């Protein structure tokens, strides 16, 4: 409560430390980490000193094939993401514009989407084997769901007046679709695709955990865990987060650019 009173000169800060507030906690934790592992307050195997993680990264990069792992994961991610998004837009459009399709297939789709996506892994691995195709199939499924869902919603939420205007201007069905439905559904579709990008990255890692054959970041983490190489596991988790974060940022930028017409 006192804070609200001090709010105006919040950024003036105290003279003692000029570290930005957001950095203080992480820096403190890192120092604690480093100190406790240097002085072996905690078993080094559990909390390796920071330089070990950097060293592990360097070693994997130069001697191991970290880049191969990353490339393999990204390749799967993108393949599944693209296929899933295309399928999702197509399926979502069908259900979005056709009442009959929506009434017949919609309930089944909404029922199936209740199944936590990871629960599909066993059956997909039986159907597709443990090969590359199984992983990509799973990523495709994970990308498909949010895109399909948001496309349906976007297509159905168009205001009837817009369609009426189209009709009174004697638009053909095709024109109504291309000039009215599609543009008005676009923001929603973009949201779906954005979600799909996040989900497909999760799914890539998940697929690699369960079908840990061949290169990939998930496989790297799992094998690091099996050999109790904490530094490799931490490196993997760090990369996971970094790549996920970058993908998210890219999607945000692209989305903002594509939807610029709305503000203009």
Partner 1 sequence: MTDIVSSPISTPSVPWLERVQRVVTAFAIPLAFPAVLVLLWHLASTYELMPEQILPYPAYVWDAAVDAIVGGDLLKQISFSAGRVTAGFIAGAVAGLVLGFAMGFWHWLDDHVRPLFTAISQVPTIGWIPLLMLFLGLGEALKIVIIAKAAFIPIVMNSSAALRSIPPGYLEVARIFRFNKLQRLRLVILPATVPPVFTGIRYGLTKAWTALVAVELLASSEGLGYQLNWARQMFWLDTMIFSMILIGLVGFVMDHILARIEVRLQRWKLTD
Residues 159-198 that bind partner 1 (CB under 8 A): none
Residues 71-90 that bind partner 1 (CB under 8 A): none
Rule CB under 8 A: is residue 210 a binding residue for partner 1? yes
CB 60, min distance to partner 1, A: 16
Residues 104-133 that bind partner 1 (CB under 8 A): 104-108, 111-112, 114-123, 125-127
Residue 83 or 211: which CB sits closer to partner 1? 211
Site string for partner 1, 34-53 (x = CB under 8 A): ------------x-------
Residue 40 or 175: which CB sits closer to partner 1? 40
Site string for partner 1, 132-161 (x = CB under 8 A): ------------------------------
Applying CB under 8 A, the span of 73-81, 160-168, 181-189, 219-227 interacting with partner 1 comes to 219-227
Closest to 243 (Cα-Cα) out of 215, 205, 206: 205
Closest to 179 (Cα-Cα) out of 192, 170, 190: 170
How far apart, in Å, are the Cα atoms of 156 and each of 92, 99, 180, 218? 10, 10, 12, 38
Residues 17-36 that bind partner 1 (CB under 8 A): 21-26, 29
Burial of 43: CB neighbours in 10 Å, binned 0-12, 13-18, 19+? exposed
How far apart, in Å, are the Cα atoms of 260 and each of 150, 252, 253, 256, 264? 19, 12, 11, 6, 6
Tell me how far apart the alpha carbons of residues 81 and 48 are, in angstroms, rounded to a whole number: 35
The answer to whether the CB of 240 falls within 8 A of the CB of 179 is no
Residue 1 or 170: which CB sits closer to partner 1? 1
For 120, residues 6+ apart whose C-beta sits below 8 A from its C-beta are: 138, 141
The answer to whether the CB of 95 falls within 8 A of the CB of 152 is yes
Q: Which residues bind partner 1 (CB under 8 A)?
A: 1, 3, 7, 10, 21-26, 29, 46, 103-108, 111-112, 114-123, 125-127, 201-202, 205-206, 209-210, 221-222, 224-225, 228, 230, 233-234, 236-238, 240-242, 244-245, 248
């Amino acid at each position: 409560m006192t804070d609200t009173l001090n709010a105006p000169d919040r950024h003036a800060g105290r003279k003692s430390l000029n570290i930005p507030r957001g950095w203080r906690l992480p820096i403190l934790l890192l120092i604690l980490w480093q100190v406790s592992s240097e002085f072996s307050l905690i078993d080094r195997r559990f909390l390796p000193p920071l330089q070990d993680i950097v060293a592990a990264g360097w070693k994997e990069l130069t001697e191991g094939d970290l880049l191969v792992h990353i490339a393999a994961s990204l390749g799967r991610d993108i393949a599944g993401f693209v296929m899933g998004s295309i399928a999702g837009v197509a399926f979502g459009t069908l259900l979005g514009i056709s009442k009959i399709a929506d009434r017949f297939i919609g309930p089944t789709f909404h029922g199936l989407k209740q199944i936590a996506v990871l629960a599909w892994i066993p059956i997909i691995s039986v159907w597709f084997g443990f090969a590359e195709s199984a992983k990509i199939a799973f990523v495709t499924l994970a990308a498909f769901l949010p895109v399909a869902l948001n496309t349906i919603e976007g297509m159905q939420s168009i205001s009837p007046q817009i369609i009426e205007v189209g009709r009174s201007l004697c638009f053909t069905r095709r024109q109504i679709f291309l000039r009215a439905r599609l543009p008005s559904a676009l923001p929603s579709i973009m949201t779906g695709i954005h979600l799909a990008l996040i989900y497909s990255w999760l799914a890539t890692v998940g697929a690699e955990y369960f079908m840990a054959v061949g290169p990939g970041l998930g496989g790297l983490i799992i094998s690091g865990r099996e050999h109790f190489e904490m530094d490799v596991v931490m490196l993997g988790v760090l990369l996971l987060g970094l790549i996920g974060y970058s993908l998210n940022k890219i999607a945000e930028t692209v989305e903002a650019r594509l939807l610029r017409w709305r503000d203009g």
